[in-house]
């Protein structure tokens, strides 16, 4: 008998949290430096622009690597909501962005566009749930072939 939908979603959310927390040691030194020691992150070249559109928000971002381009895309979203140069670093959040599976283990095609969408959705959810704006982001690929990553900010 298949699991009820709510149980399957809870199991997947728990699995994502476990994966994200297993990467905490990768992000902890940066967390110490910027949040605890009150040091500012280096000036990042915010390589993005907002494009005109009548009904939607469009962000064009670029970088030397996929990680850099995705980071700039997140900065573009944050900067649309506030002046991110005035956002202070007070808290770190870590989350896992799966590549090949979505909720309830339905297989989806993994692509950089998919990953950008999931990353922006997570950023927007953090803002709506707790007014959390991203000032600094680090991305660590779990599996580049499936575009799975763990992000901390």
Domain, as residue range, for 16: 5-37+59-152
- Asked whether residue 76 is domain-assigned, the answer is yes
Q: What is the CB-side half-sphere exposure of residue 83 using CA atoms within 13 A?
A: 2
**Considering its fold, how many domains does the chain have in total?**
1
Give the number of other CB atoms < 10 A from CB of residue 62. Answer: 12
Angle at which helices 66-81 and 112-130 cross, to 10°: 30
pLDDT tens string 10-61: 666 666 666 667 766 666 776 666 666 666 665 566 788 889 888 888 889 9
pTM metric for this prediction = 0.70
CATH number of the domain where residue 73 is located: 3.55.10.10
């Amino acid at each position: 008998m298949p699991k009820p939908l709510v149980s399957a979603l809870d199991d997947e959310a728990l699995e994502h949290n476990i994966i994200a927390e297993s990467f905490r040691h990768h992000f902890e030194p940066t967390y110490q430096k910027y949040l605890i020691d009150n040091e500012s992150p280096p000036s990042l070249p915010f390589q993005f622009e907002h494009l005109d559109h009548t009904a939607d928000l469009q962000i064009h971002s670029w970088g030397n690597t996929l990680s850099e381009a995705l980071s700039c895309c997140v900065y573009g979203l944050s900067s649309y909501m506030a002046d991110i140069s005035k956002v202070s670093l007070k808290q770190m959040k870590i989350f896992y962005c799966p590549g090949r599976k979505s909720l309830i283990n339905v297989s989806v095609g993994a692509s950089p566009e998919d990953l950008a969408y999931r990353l922006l959705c997570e950023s927007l959810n953090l803002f709506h749930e707790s007014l959390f704006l991203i000032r600094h982001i680090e991305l660590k690929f779990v599996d580049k072939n499936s575009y799975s990553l763990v992000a901390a900010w």
